[in-house]
Amino acid sequence: MKKIQLAADGDFSFCRHAAGFQWILRQGKGGALVVPVLKAPFLVGRSPECQVVLPNDPELLKTTSRWHCHLRERDGDWVLADGNTPESASGGIPKPSVSGTWLNGKRLASAEKVRPGDRITIGPWRFKLEECRQNTVDIDALLTRIGSAQPRDLSANVAKVKGGFAQFHELILKLNEAQGAEASLSALLEFAMSKIHGAEVAAVLVDVPGGEPKVRMSLSRAGGIINDFHFSSGLVSGLPRDKAFLLAGNIADATKSQLAADISSGLLVPLTARQERLGILYMDNRSRGTVFTDEDLFLATALASLVSFQIIQERQAFISRVEQNMSHYFGPDVVRLILEETRAGRPVIPGVRDRTATIMFVDIQGFSIFCRDKPPRLVADVLNAYFELSAECIQRHGGHLDKFIGDGVMGVFGAQPFDPPAGAESNHAAQAVRAGQDLVAAWPKRVKDLWTGALPLRVGVSTGRVLVGNIGYAARMEYSVIGDAVNLASRMEKLALPNGLAVTDETWRQVGNEILFKEGGMEEVKGFGTVRIWRL
């Protein structure tokens, strides 16, 4: 079977999700333009469990489905089918997409064989199927010609090499020895002052999206780090974003602050990357009367490129850490929105807010008895498999993993660290129940290779008002929820039958007709009095 890939046929691209094999479709050309089809079935839709996750914007809900279409293998060929897969469909009957899947301009009536060159349309998105080809480069011919040519002497003794690159070789050696970002940036500024003799002060001023520029680091030739470096943020922000400045000595219109600091000459070079100004590399001369030259400006411009590169690397490393950390708790859609806020300079730091959410508690019935005579390694392996499956099911259905409590798992639905776009609200009660169903159904298969005895799960679900946000104290904060709905979900879990779900009356009401329950009667619940429960 040929290896194929989906190529973007429009103004959009794909960004890979750090926690798995999903690719997130985004408007614009900032990401990858092709996605390899690595396994079958290969799903495309708005659901976080799809391999290509479409945007969940309100205006797209009428044209794209959670499981819109999928590619699968049949008799050694790839076929395209509309809707979800038979394996994931209720009763084995796939549900069609809301607007259909189009192959080469015709709406699919049934699964059809596809080949490279075919075009697929899903709502407003168009894709082209391509064959995956190995990228190979044969340089034997070039090496043969180079081998017969006269070699050039680039030893350190050659004047041009020594004059043009020796100082940068010295800088690279210093950067290789630097331990961490702060030491690396310090080495860059120290090198700048050692080579640009007029510089008695050097600083990196960093632009902050939506805020005032700040001092990233400042050094003086005489005293090292400057702890009290002042500048006018308004003047810095007002400088042209792509121009360098060299102020000659004996400044005729010196300001009071320049005179007070005895500044005689200044040099400012913009720090830029990806057509964006990151900040300014600043230098000045304060007492010796030395002025900056054009040669100094050229060298400072080269050094500014290295400083810009470091700032970009720091930002990318921060974004990667955010993505990796958040993917442990939230699904791809939520992580994508968190990253977009972070890239825009608006880190998601949720305060405490009051909202309606659905809480799910899960535990392994009889786990304490199971642990008494079992090897610690077996107990750990069973717990790890259980925690992994719980996280998968919770995130797949739009919830986030709140915490592990012994052998208990707490999941939260409808309480993301941001308000959803208007019209994009989901039925979080139904999401929680479906997550519980999937977990109970998949657990026996997941654990069978580790333990052949019975280890049933119990799932409790409750919907109600909760406080959600950063809870704790300054040294230890965590994103969590508190409230009666949390406590009641814990009580529901104790009332659930083995391998079953128990939900509150409010959860049952909000789920509506999407899922059929059996009334479990009235139960006396500690702290809540008599409560009606529903079983699944």
* DSSP letters for 2-31: --EEEEE-SSEEEEE-TTSS-EEEEESSSS
**pLDDT tens, position by position, 252-290:** 444 544 444 556 677 888 888 877 888 888 888 866 567
Return the pLDDT at 197.
Answer: 83
Residues 6+ apart with CB under 8 A from 259: none
DSSP 459: E
Percentage, residues of the chain above pLDDT 70: 78
CATH class held by domain 163-318: alpha beta
Superfamily of domain 349-535: Nucleotide cyclase, GGDEF domain (3.30.70.1230)
Report how far residue 111's alpha carbon sits from residue 84's, in angstroms, rounded to the nearest whole number.
12
Would residue 104 be called left, alpha or beta, if left means φ above 0 and alpha means ψ between -120 and 50 degrees? left
Enumerate the domain spans of the chain.
Answer: 4-131, 163-318, 349-535
**pLDDT tens, position by position, 324-371:** 766 666 656 566 666 776 776 665 555 677 889 999 999 999 999 999
Identical fold for domains 4-131 and 349-535, yes or no, is: no
Positive/negative CA dihedral, 174, 175, 180, 186: positive
Question: H or E segment at 75?
Answer: none
Residues 6+ apart with CB under 8 A from 149: none
Return the pLDDT at 101.
Answer: 96
State the average pLDDT over residues 71-81: 92
Return the pLDDT at 414.
Answer: 87
Instruction: Read off the amino acid at residue 218.
Output: S
CATH number of 4-131: 2.60.200.20
State the average pLDDT over residues 519-527: 89
Mean pLDDT for the chain? 81
Q: Which two tokens stand for residue 297?
A: 């400006």
Give the pairing type, strands 500-504 and 457-473.
parallel
State the average pLDDT over residues 404-422: 79
Report how far residue 400's alpha carbon sits from residue 380's, in angstroms, rounded to the nearest whole number.
23
The strand order across the sheet containing 214-220 reads 224-225, 214-220, 201-206, 276-285, 265-273, 245-247
DSSP 60: G
Report how far residue 462's alpha carbon sits from residue 82's, in angstroms, rounded to the nearest whole number.
35
**pLDDT tens, position by position, 126-159:** 999 998 865 555 666 666 665 666 665 545 454 5
**Do 517 and 483 meet the contact criterion of CB atoms below 8 Å apart?**
no
